[in-house]
Structure 1
Amino acid sequence: MSTLAHSEQPTRITVIGAGVIGLSSAHELASAGHQVTVIADQDSLETVSAVAAAIWFPYHSENSPAADLLLARSLARFEQLADIAETGVDLRTGLNVDHVPGADRSWTKIVANVSEAPPADLPEGAFAGAYATVPIITMSTYLLWLKHEVEKLGVTFIHETIKELKELEHDADVVVIAGGLRGGELLGDDDTVYPIRGQVLRLANPNNLRSWLCDDDYPDGVSYIIPRRDDIIVGGTDTAHDWNQEFDPATATQILCRATALVPELAGLQVLEHKVGLRPARASIRLELVSGHPLPVVAAYGHGGAGVTLSWGTAQRVAELVDSALS
């Protein structure tokens, strides 16, 4: 039983980070009756979450039973949100391409409507492919909606950089670290977090292209085409340990060239924006209670390229860990 049950005062929880993991965690914690404050040095639309394509898919994240639970929980929530137009969440059908035998398809056991693609539908050189209907999230819309929902639950936001957790020991009962690349730095015991640089283009979608395509092993580089409501995200890059946040014109040309080879309908579409984000990667997601600090700490970082995909499952697990810390 949590402290909340023994006290008239709600438990004070500080969430560090205003990306999709931080906002989702704040939502679940506030929904449970906690008094939640989000502290971040970036607005939600400035985080790597805002750069995400964002298709429900476990890209550059761990493959484990624990991760599968996060995936399933998140998928269920996004499917519910797809019924609410203002969330920016839509269910779209598309093709995931495999270039080698034995490619990891563990994600397909979580999705209800996967079917094998006929050979005629595959890009040249592909071994196999699977059609699936999964959530596509327009992040500019979704992050604003989610922040609004969180604020309606009474969550407050502070724009500040936290350098050490002891700064919070008098203002919080529990701290949740959802700080992405800074997660290990804030805890001071984890130097295993590293960036995977992603560069994408945002194209106009005048012809209302709807089907997505992901080809992680495309011979010339990872390629994905994700049509959203009013645009198309085309990517990308997956360069580990690259901290460069400036877009590279030559890389953009290469991305668009291989994407157009896969989806000829992209030819000639207006480029609306170039975007770069640093995915917070780790050998495994860190989602656990951490001892040895002035107050209880829950770590929630290291999601690689699957932060959006795993966000609601992570948030639910954060709430469970907070209850454990307070029991």
Structure 2
Amino acid sequence: MRSDVIVVGGGVVGLATATTLAERGLRVRIWSRDAVTGTTSAVAGALWWPYRIEPAAEVGAWALRTLRVYEEWAADPEVSGVRRVAGVHAGTVLDGLGPWAKEVEGLRQLAPEEVPGPYGTGLAARLPLLDMPVHLGFLLRRFEALGGTFERRAVDGFEEAAALAPVVVDCTGLAARELVPDPGLLPVRGQLVLVENPGIEEWFTAADESAGATTYWFPHVDRLVLGGTAEEGDGRLAPDPATAAAIVARCARVRPEIAGARVLGHRVGLRPARTGGVRIEAVELPGGGRLVHDYGHGGAGVTVAWGCAEAAAELAVG
């Protein structure tokens, strides 16, 4: 069966890109090694915020486009998995952000006494928070309703897809390191702890991008997601008990009730960071096909998915 486009990769970036192309009336298939709930995207926290992503000159527009999509979907959170939730970015200064910050409604600098924990600065915001297993299922249903096809299929190169479609879009995340190959990709390990929510309604982050350990929690309907780590070059997927205990302890120093919350599970994901940042680029394949790369989103694939999808779609079909 021939298609107009085959998108390789079934995480949030792949689903967004495939849906954007299907909305243009194209016949689109997704080839994904994993079910959507088995992708790295399913492990994400996942708060909209440009975190650990380059290039700075492009990120703002991609993130704002994605923000508008999530704001619309937040009107029906049970279906979309997207809610707008209030919270605090500790250790962050408004003047230190890019021009995109002026377009985020309600973002404001806090007085020192308003910032939880041992932090002297912080921002208040009400941002989209995504329940990723619910959200990925929502995206898959939207894609299939447009006539798209999702196939579980592992690949070891793009030639097979190129034989079945004139355009192939590479949304393979960290796997692009071997598939392209691109040695500039490296894993940034993120470990999370899921606990029963002791009544916390607002999210909190205190992220030091120069450190391998961060402190944050994200409240979902049935759980509180605690984090985290940002361990560059670490490809371990098994949860580390000592790391989990340290995550809980850091969060409990800010909100003591977290210390007694029952642990529900552990998650590990590998963020696909790339030297030089996100790669959105079209290359010609032998035989006249076109390969469009859309990978390297680091810790912000959820944040820029729809902006990057539009950029990739333009390169794919114009």
Would the TM-score normalized by the shorter structure come out above 0.5?
Answer: yes
Q: Which runs of 4+ in 1 moved over 4 A?
A: none
Question: Structure 2 counterpart of 1:155, which letter?
Answer: G
Partner of 1:68: 60
Q: 2:133 aligns with which of 136, 140, 151?
A: 140
Matched, 1:289 2:282: yes
Matched, 1:215 2:209: no
Distance apart, 1:91 and its partner CA: 0.3
Larger mean CA deviation between 168-177 and 315-324 belongs to 315-324
Larger mean CA deviation between 150-159 and 121-130 belongs to 121-130
Partner secondary structure for residue 161 of structure 1: coil
Q: Distance in 2 between matches of 1:264 and 1:61?
A: 31
Partner of 1:278: 270
Distance apart, 1:229 and its partner CA: 2.0
Question: Structure 2 counterpart of 1:153, which letter?
Answer: L
Distance apart, 1:133 and its partner CA: 0.9
Q: 2:89 aligns with which of 77, 92, 96?
A: 96
What per-residue deviation string (whole Å, max 9, x for no partner) do you get for residues 51-102 of structure 1? 1000001111115221111001000000001012310100011100117x79
Larger mean CA deviation between 164-173 and 297-306 belongs to 164-173
Q: 2:299 aligns with which of 291, 296, 305?
A: 305
Q: Distance in 2 between matches of 1:287 and 1:169?
A: 18
Mark the runs of 5 or more structure 1 residues left unpaired by the alignment.
1-9
Q: Distance in 1 between matches of 2:103 and 2:299?
A: 18
Partner of 1:78: 70
Asked whether the equivalents of residues 82 and 129 of structure 2 are also in contact (C-alpha less than 8 Å), the reply is yes
Partner secondary structure for residue 309 of structure 1: helix
Q: Distance in 2 between matches of 1:36 and 1:61?
A: 28
Asked whether the equivalents of residues 36 and 155 of structure 1 are also in contact (C-alpha less than 8 Å), the reply is yes
Asked whether the equivalents of residues 183 and 299 of structure 1 are also in contact (C-alpha less than 8 Å), the reply is no
Distance apart, 1:323 and its partner CA: 2.2
What per-residue deviation string (whole Å, max 9, x for no partner) do you get for residues 215-241 of structure 1? 002989311111122211100000001
1:164-203 map, 5 Å: 164-188=157-181, 190-203=182-195
Gap change, CA 1:196 and 1:220, over 3 Å in 2: closer
Mark the runs of 5 or more structure 2 residues left unpaired by the alignment.
none
Larger mean CA deviation between 219-228 and 83-92 belongs to 219-228
Partner secondary structure for residue 182 of structure 1: helix
Q: TM-score when scaled to structure 1?
A: 0.90
Q: TM-score when scaled to structure 2?
A: 0.93
Larger mean CA deviation between 11-20 and 299-308 belongs to 11-20
Distance apart, 1:290 and its partner CA: 2.1
Asked whether the equivalents of residues 202 and 273 of structure 1 are also in contact (C-alpha less than 8 Å), the reply is yes
Question: Structure 2 counterpart of 1:212, which letter?
Answer: W
Asked whether the equivalents of residues 188 and 270 of structure 2 are also in contact (C-alpha less than 8 Å), the reply is yes
Question: Structure 2 counterpart of 1:289, which letter?
Answer: A
Aligned length: 312
Distance apart, 1:123 and its partner CA: 4.3
Q: Distance in 2 between matches of 1:140 and 1:185?
A: 27
Partner secondary structure for residue 222 of structure 1: strand
Asked whether the equivalents of residues 198 and 258 of structure 2 are also in contact (C-alpha less than 8 Å), the reply is no
Q: Distance in 2 between matches of 1:157 and 1:91?
A: 29
Gap change, CA 1:272 and 1:102, over 3 Å in 2: same
Fraction of identical pairs, as percent: 35
Partner of 2:20: 28
Q: Distance in 1 between matches of 2:187 and 2:86?
A: 30
Distance apart, 1:292 and its partner CA: 4.4
Q: Distance in 1 between matches of 2:151 and 2:91?
A: 44
